[in-house]
């Protein structure tokens, strides 16, 4: 079966959603949607045996074969893991949204179309083997995310958040496209598998580091890494199912997927190891530190997501070290990354759903108004407790296992000696440990400020009560998974993690069974990770207990110096700056624009003329000056002078006529009888026209031109004049090829049967010119007629500008 088509199944289903929404008013549209991710999930489960053996499955749909672009669905351990996450959590989120969104009040047709669009896009991202189609799906996730964040489009904050996330992720997406194109140039293929195969030859290539940085920009913007995380907290304006799905479990992990997928290509570079590990760790610390500051439940979770994504990112970076060192201590990192990725998807999804439930049942997400909900919402509390404790990294929840492995990996980095790691590596476990403490604090902050303590009577908009059963199903399932994974980690490792790790580290393992990592909850008293965890708990508990005393620290950071202020400043600066620039040079006056054009023209031509040594004057090529032409030249110059100096329009028109007749005389002197004739007639008619319109024409005035503007005009005009003269001289002095005139002279009689060569050229050799010149004259005539006869002017003019 060509399973590549399954990627498009959600999009196809989305086509029918508006119909179902409009026709089947009585059934919540979500029930129809639910089938799609469920079917896909069950289908992808059937691939687990294949990937467990280290195998993979490929299905290709050719798109633009001539350019090597196709949709390739490539399922190995890594993409299968992500596909299962997408469809599995997708099903739960759809189920949750059925109870969360009201079928009468909400525009469900829109919601599910966007959601299914997103699902397709996400499946496409993780399964694509072709970088171009990967980019296509990548941008589709940005667009559908934009639509989902702006779902309640009547709210300002929603629109702002949607725009912000769009700007940042599309910026990263475009950078990533650049990286892909460079990769395509280096490897001469767009297929990721083939790129990986030829990866070692890229090292040292001119584009290698550039492609690496560009690709990481894409990954960092999508996965909300420092300093691009700022869109994620604003994206919390989306409906909660969207936050749970996109902004915790799937889309933000697309960047992680990208890093993991391209690790076999770029891990050879130290820049990669440093950037991914360093930025990841910085993000981890930053996110966990600022999560404690937030007062909105979803904002806490958003910063926590940022922080946890940083954690996974740093593990991916540490995992890349295995490409440089065979030391067994580094092997844990990649495993831990994938493990935590799964764990994070489970507990963060459930926490978001709980935040949504709290919002739904109490009417607020403000942690300052909440409290004491434990006894009223026992099920929600239990799930929130499980999720938070897992997030904090406590046993018996899955977060504990991955947090232990994380600390273990960070400790292991100290032993890495390449790339100046020996100098700085002590920072890695220290920062990781401090971040873990803050993680502990905000996890407690989140769950206990909401559910424990005293109830604040009267401060809640609604009377709180437990959520309906349907809404609780999804978070409970995720909560059970959180606990379940703690007890069967090695089964999960065998099914999902090891195949994924084997796909990321093909240099280490030829098949998943080779990975000899056994997850154990208990490492014995002598393991340093255990004591680090104990330290986290002790210090974290102390910090949480004294939270009200030191939370003031956050007030010290002035709002002006935040990254959000930087983003806002950048946006308004570019808008205002561009406005100012265009107002500066676009004056609306024709004269200004003409000056730009003429100045540019003369400068550009003169520069080229002299820098290319094209200026040559060959005195020998000139013919001698005849008496008549000299006299005629004087007449022409005088006429031109009169045109310039005349004070009345009549004098100007007559002078222009004189110039025209003098040109006609030149035509006579230079043996061009037809030209002379035409010029005489045309000049006469022109002057007649001017005189005809004379009565209606304005008097010649200079409209208060100052000496200064006249001087400017004069300089520009002189520049153009000199340019033309110099060009004419040097063009004449170096004729590179002879004229084709001889052909006309030879054949005019034999081929065309005429004697007047100019006329024969006009109507025979080059008759097309004449045809369209006639057309020009006719159009001008019709235009003149139209302008004189047609008077529509004022009608509807007032509406035009509204």
Partner 1 sequence: MELLMAILIGILFTAAVYLILSRSLLKIILGTGLLSHGAHLLILTMGGLGGSSPPVLDKGASNFADPLPQALILTAIVISFGVTAFMLVLAYRTYGEHKTDNMNLMRGNDEHD
Of 780-799, binders to partner 1 (CB under 8 A) are 780-781, 783-784, 787-788, 793
Q: Closer to partner 1 at the Cβ: 67 or 740? A: 740
Q: Closer to partner 1 at the Cβ: 530 or 640? A: 640
Helix (H, G, I), strand (E, B) or coil at 472: helix
> Does 65 contact partner 1 by CB under 8 A?
no
- Nearest approach, Cβ of residue 573 and partner 1 (Å): 20
Q: Rounded to whole angstroms, how far apart are CA atoms 383 and 353?
A: 10
Local structure of residue 216 (DSSP, 8 states): H
Contact between 506 and 264 under an 8 Å Cβ cutoff? The reply is: yes
> Does 770 contact partner 1 by CB under 8 A?
yes
- Nearest approach, Cβ of residue 622 and partner 1 (Å): 5
Residues 26-45 that bind partner 1 (CB under 8 A): none
> Does 701 contact partner 1 by CB under 8 A?
yes
> Does 658 contact partner 1 by CB under 8 A?
no
> Does 578 contact partner 1 by CB under 8 A?
no
Q: Is the peptide bond before 396 cis (omega within 30 degrees of 0)?
A: yes
> Does 690 contact partner 1 by CB under 8 A?
yes
Among 714, 734, 747, 751, binds partner 1 (CB under 8 A): 714
> Does 487 contact partner 1 by CB under 8 A?
no
> Does 776 contact partner 1 by CB under 8 A?
yes
* DSSP codes, 576-633: HHHHHHHHHH--S-HHHHHHHHHHHHHHHHHHHHHHTT-----GGGSPPPPHHHHHHH
> Does 546 contact partner 1 by CB under 8 A?
no
698 φ, ψ (degrees, to nearest 5): -70, 155
Residues 595-614 vs partner 1: string with x where CB under 8 A? Answer: x--x----------------
Tokens of 412: 């292991």
CA nearest neighbour of 202 among 220, 222, 179, 225: 179
CA nearest neighbour of 286 among 218, 239, 227, 334: 227
Residues 666-685 that bind partner 1 (CB under 8 A): 666-667, 670-675, 678-679, 682, 685
Q: Closer to partner 1 at the Cβ: 559 or 627? A: 627
Q: Rounded to whole angstroms, how far apart are CA atoms 784 and 790?
A: 10
Contact between 612 and 727 under an 8 Å Cβ cutoff? The reply is: no
Residues 611-650 that bind partner 1 (CB under 8 A): 619, 621-626, 629-630, 633, 636-637, 640-641, 643-644, 649
- Nearest approach, Cβ of residue 581 and partner 1 (Å): 14
Q: Residue with structure tokens 């026709």?
A: 23
- Nearest approach, Cβ of residue 736 and partner 1 (Å): 13
Q: Closer to partner 1 at the Cβ: 557 or 678? A: 678
- Nearest approach, Cβ of residue 246 and partner 1 (Å): 40
CA nearest neighbour of 464 among 474, 455, 452, 453: 455
# residues contacting partner 1 (CB under 8 A): 100
Contact between 291 and 307 under an 8 Å Cβ cutoff? The reply is: yes
> Does 574 contact partner 1 by CB under 8 A?
no
Contact between 140 and 121 under an 8 Å Cβ cutoff? The reply is: yes
Q: H helices of 267-377, where? A: 270-291, 297-319, 331-362
Among 27, 198, 718, 734, binds partner 1 (CB under 8 A): 718
CA nearest neighbour of 71 among 1, 6, 145: 6
> Does 661 contact partner 1 by CB under 8 A?
no
Q: Closer to partner 1 at the Cβ: 578 or 637? A: 637
Q: Measured on CA atoms in the order 576, 582, 587, 589, is the torsion positive or negative? A: negative
> Does 745 contact partner 1 by CB under 8 A?
yes
Among 588, 612, 708, 795, binds partner 1 (CB under 8 A): 588
> Does 757 contact partner 1 by CB under 8 A?
yes
């Amino acid at each position: 079966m060509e399973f590549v088509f399954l990627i498009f199944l959600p999009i196809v289903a989305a086509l029918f959603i508006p119909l179902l929404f409009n026709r089947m008013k009585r059934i919540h549209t979500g029930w129809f949607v639910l089938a799609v991710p469920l079917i896909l999930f069950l289908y992808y489960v059937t691939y687990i045996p294949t990937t467990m053996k280290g195998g993979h499955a490929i299905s290709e749909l050719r798109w633009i074969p001539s350019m090597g672009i196709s949709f390739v669905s490539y399922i190995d351990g890594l993409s299968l893991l992500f596909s299962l996450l997408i469809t599995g959590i997708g099903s739960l989120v759809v189920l949750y949204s059925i109870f969360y969104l009201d079928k009468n009040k909400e525009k469900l047709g829109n919601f599910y179309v966007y959601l299914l669009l997103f699902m397709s896009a996400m499946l496409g991202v993780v399964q694509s083997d072709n970088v171009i189609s990967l980019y296509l799906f990548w941008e589709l996730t940005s667009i559908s995310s934009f639509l989902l964040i702006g779902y309640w489009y009547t709210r300002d904050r929603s629109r702002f958040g949607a725009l912000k996330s769009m700007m940042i992720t599309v910026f990263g997406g475009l950078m990533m496209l650049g990286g892909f194109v460079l990769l395509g140039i280096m490897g001469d293929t767009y297929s990721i598998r083939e790129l990986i195969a030829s990866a070692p030859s890229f090292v040292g290539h001119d584009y290698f580091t550039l492609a690496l940085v560009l690709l990481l920009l894409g990954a960092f913007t999508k996965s909300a890494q420092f300093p691009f995380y700022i869109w994620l907290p604003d994206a919390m304006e989306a409906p909660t199912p969207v936050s749970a799905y996109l902004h915790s479990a799937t889309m933000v992990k697309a960047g992680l997927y990208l890093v993991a997928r391209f690790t076999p290509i770029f891990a050879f570079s130290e820049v990669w190891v440093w950037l991914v590990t360093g930025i990841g760790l910085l993000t981890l610390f930053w996110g966990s530190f600022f999560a404690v500051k937030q007062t909105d439940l979803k904002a806490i979770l958003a910063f926590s997501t940022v922080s946890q994504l940083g954690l996974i990112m740093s593990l991916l970076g540490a995992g890349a070290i295995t490409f440089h060192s065979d030391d067994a201590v580094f092997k844990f990192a990649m495993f831990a990354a994938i493990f935590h990725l799964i764990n994070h998807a489970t507990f963060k999804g459930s926490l978001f759903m709980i935040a949504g439930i709290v919002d739904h049942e109490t009417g607020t997400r403000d942690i300052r108004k909440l409290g004491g909900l434990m006894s009223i919402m026992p099920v929600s509390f239990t799930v929130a407790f499980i999720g938070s404790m897992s997030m904090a990294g406590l046993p018996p929840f899955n977060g504990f296992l991955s947090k232990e492995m994380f600390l273990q990996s960070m400790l292991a980095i100290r032993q890495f000696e390449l790339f100046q790691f020996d100098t700085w590596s002590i920072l890695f476990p220290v920062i990781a440990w401090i971040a873990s403490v803050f993680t502990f604090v905000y996890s407690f902050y989140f769950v206990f400020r909401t559910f424990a303590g005293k109830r604040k009577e009267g401060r809640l908009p609604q009377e709180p009560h437990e959520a309906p059963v349907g809404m609780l199903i999804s978070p409970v399932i995720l909560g059970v998974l959180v606990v379940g994974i703690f007890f069967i980690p090695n089964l999960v490792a065998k099914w999902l993690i090891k195949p994924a790790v084997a796909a990321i580290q093909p240099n280490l393992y030829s098949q998943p069974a080779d990975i000899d990592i056994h997850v154990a909850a208990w490492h014995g008293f002598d393991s340093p990770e255990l004591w680090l965890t104990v330290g986290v708990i002790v210090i974290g508990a102390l910090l949480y207990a004294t939270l009200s005393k030191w939370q003031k620290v956050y007030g010290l950071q002035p709002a002006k110096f935040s990254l959000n202020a930087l983003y806002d400043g950048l946006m308004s600066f570019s808008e205002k700056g561009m406005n100012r620039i265009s107002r500066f040079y676009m004056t609306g006056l024709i004269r200004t624009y003409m000056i730009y054009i003429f100045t540019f023209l003369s400068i550009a031509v003169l520069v080229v003329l002299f820098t290319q040594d094209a200026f040559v004057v060959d005195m020998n090529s000139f013919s001698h000056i005849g008496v008549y032409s000299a006299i005629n030249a004087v007449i022409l110059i005088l006429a031109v002078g009169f045109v310039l100096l005349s004070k009345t329009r009549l004098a100007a028109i007559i002078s222009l006529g004189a110039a025209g007749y003098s040109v006609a005389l030149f035509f006579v002197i230079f043996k061009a009888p037809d030209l002379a004739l035409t010029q005489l007639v045309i000049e006469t008619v022109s002057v007649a026209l001017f005189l005809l319109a004379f009565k209606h024409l304005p008097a010649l005035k200079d409209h208060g031109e100052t000496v200064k503007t006249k001087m400017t005009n004069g300089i520009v005009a002189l520049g153009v004049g000199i340019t033309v003269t110099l060009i004419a001289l040097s063009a004449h002095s170096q004729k590179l090829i002879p004229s084709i005139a001889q052909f006309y002279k030879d054949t005019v009689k034999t081929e065309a049967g005429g004697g007047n060569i100019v006329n024969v050229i006009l109507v025979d050799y080059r008759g097309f010119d004449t045809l369209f010149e006639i057309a020009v004259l006719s159009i001008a005539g019709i235009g003149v007629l139209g302008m004189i006869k047609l008077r529509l002017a004022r009608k509807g003019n007032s509406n035009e500008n509204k």
